[in-house]
Structures are given as structure tokens and as C-alpha cells.
A and B are shown apart, each in its own frame.
Chain A
Amino acid sequence: MLVTLGRTTVEEIAGEAGVSRATVYRAFPGGREEIVAALVDSQLDAFFDDLADHVRDAPDFESMLVRGLMHAHAGMVDHRLLQRVLDVEPELVLPELQRRSRSLVGDIADFLRPYLAAAELCDDVDVDETCRWLARLTLSFIGNPGSWDLTDECETTRLVRSQFLAGVVRRP
């Protein structure tokens, strides 16, 4: 994509797609805003489908989180469209991402639940609540890792042990 979303007009999108403006509006009656929302949805779905595939066969819960954080971080850094939009016009895409974050937390929590339930848990851990907690933390770290180096497996493991799983999963 050569131009940024905010300055992209429906005409340009129609021209690029080889359809008329009317056809675009038939598919997206809300015009540009609706197209941005659909684009965010499809990018997020692709991102998290890929992430799920990448972690599905992890040997245990801890390595699932480590693998997931590292893969998601790399995917974020390499996501050219997202990086470009964050550079140029974050105000356009962040409300959409924020709007989707609630359902994302639910989806990630659902994904984690069977794996967490199979792990050896500390006393008084509520599986549903903990899954949502871990999902929210995961999104926060994908957005910005702070001073943690999520390209380093040892460091990511330390992060997961100290800030994700301490008090949740028993360590051998």
C-alpha cells in the first residue's frame, strides 16, 4: 500500500480494486471508516490465527506463552502496514484496535483455557479469571514490550515466570 489509510479515498480504493465507487459503497456502506474497520479485522484475524498455529503444539504452558510472545513480537515489528500507520496516523487505527481488544481478550482466553486447566496450578487459582488476565497481559506486551527483550528466549522465559505465571502455575 503506497498511500496511508487516512488519505486514501474511496475512489482510490475502487480504482485499485478495478471496481466502481458505487460497488465499493454497496459492499461498505459506511465508506472509508468501514473499510478501515474491515481491514483491521482481517489483519487481526490473520495475525492471531498465525499465532495460534505457532504455539499450538508447545510442550507445556510456560513454553506456549514464551513462544507466543516472541512470535507475536516479531510479527508486530515486521508488520509493515501496522508500523506505517502507527508512524503516520495512529489516531485512525488505534480506536479500531481498542474496539476489538475486548473480543480479542475473550478469544485468547478461550484458546489458553484447556492448556492452563491441564497445568499444575497453585492453590485458589480461578482458571477463567486467570485466562483473561493472561490474555490482557499478552496483548499489553505485544503492543509494547517495555524494557524486556522479546527476541531473547531466556529473557522472555524470565518474564513469563515472574510476571505471567508466578502464583499461577507450580514450578517443579
Chain B
Amino acid sequence: MPTLAVRQCVRYCLIVSRTAVAGRLALDPPGSLERRIIDAARDCCGRYGWSKTTLDDIARSAGLSRATLYRAFPGGRAAVKAAVTRYETVDFFQQIEAELVGVDDLPTMLTVGLTAASRRLADDADLQFSLQHEPGEVLPQFLFRGLDDIFSLCRVFVAPHLQRFLGADEAVATSELLARLVVMHLLSPGGSVDLTDRSAAEHLVRTRILPGLAVRVPTAPSSDTGGAASELHANSPAPLAAATHGR
């Protein structure tokens, strides 16, 4: 059956590209020098906040000399901070992805993505402390160019799961929309919708996200209705030409 062959091919391509990107995203393994420094820096940040954490604090907490620390991170404090941000962001997306794996329908997947991400950020005491008391230290991760990293991780960790229900370009566009909504909620909680609340998130998905999507029927035993699904949606967005290119 040709459809099945195509499906398998798409899945294979996805896995291959996914593995290629994930290789670059691998977290430093526990016990490595880098990881020891990252853990120490996170510990310091949790205690004093970023603005009051010095390189000496990090070295002392890691039980390393400044020289060793510089050998691992020649860029010094800024490089350690960038590594911590990266570590935390990749770790965050891995946790979110784990929540998406078993979900079997699109509305639930969108809802779970929004609530899991928003709750995790709301419960992150260090992040909330920084947003409150030293916003300059963390806002660059979430605004303007900072969103580039978040969007590219969305393409790796979230879009492939949405692709079970959506075309590739639409899956990317939707994963980015989810990220926008989560960041909007993080930076101005108490705005219109509380995304940590499951029913509020469900309502948002139903009224604001699903109407803009051309939903693909996930597994179609009666394959003769294949083309009907997309015709039902007059405002299905055409493929997003630039969807996967780096900006």
C-alpha cells in the first residue's frame, strides 16, 4: 500500500533528522567536568541569584580552581551562564517531550504541552526569583532573539509529535505558537488565560488554536476519505516555505 510506504519513509526521515540534531543537543553527562561546573553554578544561582554569583563562588562550590574552570569555559562567567541556560532549556524540553509521547489526539497534545510547560515554569523557584528581582539576567532568554533558541528546540522536541496529526510545516508553526503562548503566560501571568489551569488551556486550544489548523486524520482505516479532511478546512494555511530554515 503506497500510503503506508510514504508514512514509513516520513517516519524514518524524521528519526534520522531528529538524531542528527539531538546529537548536538546532548546534555553534558553527569560526572563530566562541564556538568560539575554547571551543577555548581545552578546551585549558586539558586542561593544568591545570578547577579550576585561570581566565578569564584562557582569554583568554590564545584571544588575546583579558577584555572580549571577557565579551562572548561574559556569565556568565564558569561560562558558558564550560557551553558547553564542551555542545559536548563534542553532539560526542560526533554521533560515536556516525555509528557507528549503517549498522547493520542491533537487537542489533548496541545493542552498538555501548554499546561505542562506553564506549570513547570511557574514552579521553577529560581526562574521566578530572577524574573522578580533580576529580570535583566533572564529576560534575554525569552524576548527578541532569545526566542530563536526556544523555537529551534520546539522544532526538535515538539514539532515531530505534532506531525502525527499535522503536516510538517504546520507542525513547526504550531509548536512555535505553543512556545509563544507559554512565554507570554510566563512573563505576564494573570493576563487573559491561566495556562497552568487545564480547563482554561483546553478552552484556549479549542477556541483559538484548533480553528486555524487543517487537522489530518491520524490513522485512517477507511483510506478513501483521505482528501476530505483537508477540504473541510477552508482556511488551512498553505505550506510554510521558510519553516525549517535557520534565521
Contact = CB atoms under 8 A, between A and B. Distances in A.
B193 to A, nearest CB: 8
A163 B212 contact: yes
A90 B139 contact: yes
B139 A140 contact: no
A167 B211 contact: yes
Interface string A110-148: 000000000000101000010011001100110110111
Label chain A's interface by main secondary structure. helix
B211 A166 contact: yes
A30 B184 CA distance: 30
B226 to A, nearest CB: 22
B148 interface: yes
B212 A133 contact: no
A13 B143 CA distance: 28
A132 B193 CA distance: 11
A122 B210 CA distance: 14
B152 to A, nearest CB: 10
B5 interface: no
B135 A98 contact: yes
B9 to A, nearest CB: 23
Interface in A32-90: 86, 90
B184 A94 contact: no
Nearest to A139: B184
Interface string B203-247: 000011011110000000000000000000011111011111101
B234 to A, nearest CB: 7
A133 B208 contact: yes
B173 A163 contact: yes
Interface stretch (B19-27, B53-61, B63-71, B175-183): B175-183
B135 A132 contact: no
Interface string A161-172: 111001110010
Contacts of B136: 90-92, 94-95
B194 to A, nearest CB: 13
A158 B192 contact: no
B144 A148 contact: no
A23 interface: no
Interface string B144-180: 1111100100000000000000000000110011001
A94 B191 contact: no
A144 B148 contact: yes
B103 interface: no
Nearest to A147: B243
A147 B151 contact: yes
Contact of A171 (B143, B146, B234): B234
Contacts of A22: none
Contacts of B242: 147-149, 155
A97 interface: yes
A35 B175 CA distance: 39
B173 A102 contact: no
Contacts of A158: 237-238, 240
A101 interface: yes
A98 B173 contact: no
B32 interface: no
Given A140-B180, A167-B211, A162 B241 contact: no
B147 A144 contact: yes
A71 to B, nearest CB: 18
A98 B139 contact: yes
B128 to A, nearest CB: 14
B188 interface: yes
A73 to B, nearest CB: 12
A42 B143 CA distance: 20
Contacts of A149: 241-242
Contacts of A167: 207-208, 210-212
**4 closest A-B pairs by CB:** A166-B212, A167-B211, A91-B136, A162-B212
